[in-house]
Amino acid sequence: MSKGEATRQAVLAEATEIASRLGLGGLTIGTLAARMEMSKSGLFAHFRSKEALHLQVLDHARESFTAEVIRPALRAPRGEARIRALFENWYASIQVPGACLFVSASTEFDDQPGPIRENLVAAQRDLADVIAQIFRTGIAEGHFDSAADPERFAHDLHSVMLGAFHAERLLHDPRAETWTRQAFEALLDAARPKSD
């Protein structure tokens, strides 16, 4: 990795951390320059605009989520074990301070058309597709009912994780982990092959 690329990655990591705490709206080239002890013009050369910075931060956060949550899950055996690995990795990511930029950005930009919203929509659709595909392998392995709907499972798992995020991060509810795990197990139970 070149020095310029290493600098860019360090800047994106810092920008992602700032955006996770303050929202994308709170992330400006000026704020980032002060935090990184760099000139605004130096950062402007990397990003060209606030919107370009925001888009690159979202891409960086997406790559990080993929590396920390999805790729390790894909190393687990196909089927229920892989779904469980995805859940565990995702749940662990919620515990990290400043997680999850996508939750705050989705709320911030859900009614604002433009490239940032389009990026968020694409990321969420891609995540749903990954979950559905992992679930499909579980159907193929016989772990889940052949009549189960992979897209519905993806929706329901995402709903559980959003609820977990809210209960953990905003409410600091001591029951959050227990309830999240119970909801996840209920999803798996509902998806298992039906006995005659």
Say whether pLDDT at 196 is over 60.
Answer: no
Q: Look at residue 176 in the predicted model and tell me its pLDDT.
A: 96
Q: At how many degrees (to 10) do helices 29-36 and 3-22 cross?
A: 120
- Domains, the chain, with CATH or none: 54-191 (1.10.357.10)
pLDDT band at 92 (very low <50, low <70, confident <90, very high): very high
> Do 152 and 128 form a contact (C-beta atoms < 8 A)?
no
pTM, full prediction: 0.91
- Measured CA to CA, the distance from residue 73 to residue 158 in angstroms comes to 16
Q: Look at residue 179 in the predicted model and tell me its pLDDT.
A: 98
> Do 11 and 32 form a contact (C-beta atoms < 8 A)?
yes
DSSP labels for 131-165? HHHHHHHHHHTTSS-TT--HHHHHHHHHHHHHHHH
